[in-house]
């Protein structure tokens, strides 16, 4: 707990001042002010230029994940949002931010990305995805002449952490910060993962205020040894939310939330 030790000399010094001027209420109040102010003036350990963030782009061009209500592959959404977040983080001084884009079939790509992440010694990994629903929830519609699928039943972002990751606690801390920032942007998290109707997709809700779920088996979380969070930025099978995810406004809100959370996470280390 280096932070505690850093504050200790200031607190001891203030106690001495307090006992010497105990008859002078004005000085005592001033000294108490120093005790209260101490954490604010302590220098942050966050060096943005050295803080290494990996933005893992979910899925690959060859195995693109979910298909949106308007037949756009999830990978396209993931790549676009990840690039936008990368730009914002870099412009805020997080120069060591990088995109992790993997190629090839789905399952080998997951182990490949875990290996790259472990070699990187990153401070934080955020895996970026867009959500869909189990096949049994899908309804049919026609979009631009093509038979397509949708489900307007659910919407919202969600965050997942794995207990099998050795940095589970730290991962959970970042996930909570990101959830808090998303909430502050006025966005709602996807409630359905905690409900019995999700069957084998049901997850334990770890933070019901901001939408953090436990999902132990996810390879990119479970096989990595650095703080890692999987982020479903929103549902692209929901027809309204897909349109929102296409908008620069929503992408900017999400980008601002990620940047805010990374700043807080870095500063609180």
Chain positions contacting Zn ion, by CB under 5 A:
58, 65, 129
- Cβ closest to Zn ion, residue 58 vs residue 73: 58
- Cβ closest to Zn ion, residue 65 vs residue 234: 65
- Cβ closest to Zn ion, residue 14 vs residue 158: 158
- Cβ closest to Zn ion, residue 234 vs residue 255: 234
- Cβ closest to Zn ion, residue 14 vs residue 171: 171
- Give the Cα separation of 77 and 130 in Å (integer): 7
Check: CB of residue 96 under 8 Å from CB of residue 53: yes
User: How crowded is the C-beta side of 184, counted as CA atoms within 13 Å?
Assistant: 14
Minimum CB–partner distance for residue 186 and Zn ion (Å): 24
- Cβ closest to Zn ion, residue 58 vs residue 227: 58
Check: CB of residue 220 under 8 Å from CB of residue 114: yes
Tokens standing for residue 225: 């040894």
- Cβ closest to Zn ion, residue 46 vs residue 114: 114
Q: Give me the residue whose beta carbon is nearest to Zn ion.
A: 129
Question: How many helices (DSSP H) and strands (DSSP E) are in the chain?
Answer: 8, 9
Among 213, 263, 254, 217, residue whose Cα is nearest residue 130: 254
Minimum CB–partner distance for residue 36 and Zn ion (Å): 46
Minimum CB–partner distance for residue 99 and Zn ion (Å): 16
Chain centre distance of CA 188:
14
Minimum CB–partner distance for residue 247 and Zn ion (Å): 20
Check: CB of residue 123 under 8 Å from CB of residue 226: yes
- Give the Cα separation of 106 and 88 in Å (integer): 28
- Cβ closest to Zn ion, residue 148 vs residue 235: 235
Minimum CB–partner distance for residue 241 and Zn ion (Å): 15
Minimum CB–partner distance for residue 142 and Zn ion (Å): 25
Chain centre distance of CA 238:
21
Query: DSSP strand E in the chain: where?
Result: 53-57, 98-100, 124-131, 139-143, 146-150, 158-161, 204-207, 212-214, 228-235
Check: CB of residue 64 under 8 Å from CB of residue 73: yes
Minimum CB–partner distance for residue 75 and Zn ion (Å): 8
Minimum CB–partner distance for residue 5 and Zn ion (Å): 42
Tokens standing for residue 80: 């676009």
- Give the Cα separation of 131 and 119 in Å (integer): 28
Q: Please report where in the chains the tokens 């996930």 appear, as a residue.
A: 175
- Give the Cα separation of 261 and 206 in Å (integer): 18
């Amino acid at each position: 707990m280096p932070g505690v030790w850093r504050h200790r000399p200031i607190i001891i010094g203030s106690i001495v001042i307090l006992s010497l001027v105990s008859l002078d209420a004005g000085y005592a109040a001033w000294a108490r002010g120093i005790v209260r102010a101490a954490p604010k003036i302590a220098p942050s350990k966050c060096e943005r230029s050295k803080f290494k963030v990996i933005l893992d782009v979910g899925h690959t061009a060859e195995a693109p994940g979910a298909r949106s209500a308007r037949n756009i592959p999830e990978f396209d959404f993931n790549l676009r949002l990840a690039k936008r977040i990368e730009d914002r983080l870099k412009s805020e001084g997080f120069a060591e931010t990088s995109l992790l884009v993997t190629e090839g079939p789905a399952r080998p790509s997951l182990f490949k990305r875990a290996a790259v992440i472990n070699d990187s010694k990153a401070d934080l990994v955020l895996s970026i995805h867009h959500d869909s629903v189990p096949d049994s929830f899908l309804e049919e519609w026609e979009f631009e002449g093509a038979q397509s699928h949708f489900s307007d039943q659910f919407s919202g972002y969600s965050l997942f952490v794995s207990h099998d990751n050795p940095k589970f606690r730290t991962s959970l801390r970042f996930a909570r910060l990101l959830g808090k920032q998303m909430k502050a942007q006025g966005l709602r998290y996807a409630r359905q993962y905690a409900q019995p109707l999700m069957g084998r997709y049901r997850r334990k809700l770890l933070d019901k205020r901001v939408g953090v779920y436990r999902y132990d088996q996810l390879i990119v979380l479970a096989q990595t040894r650095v703080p890692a969070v999987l982020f479903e930025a929103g549902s692209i099978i929901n027809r309204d939310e897909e349109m929102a995810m296409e908008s620069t406004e929503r992408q900017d809100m999400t980008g601002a939330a990620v940047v805010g959370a990374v700043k807080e996470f870095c500063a609180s280390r």
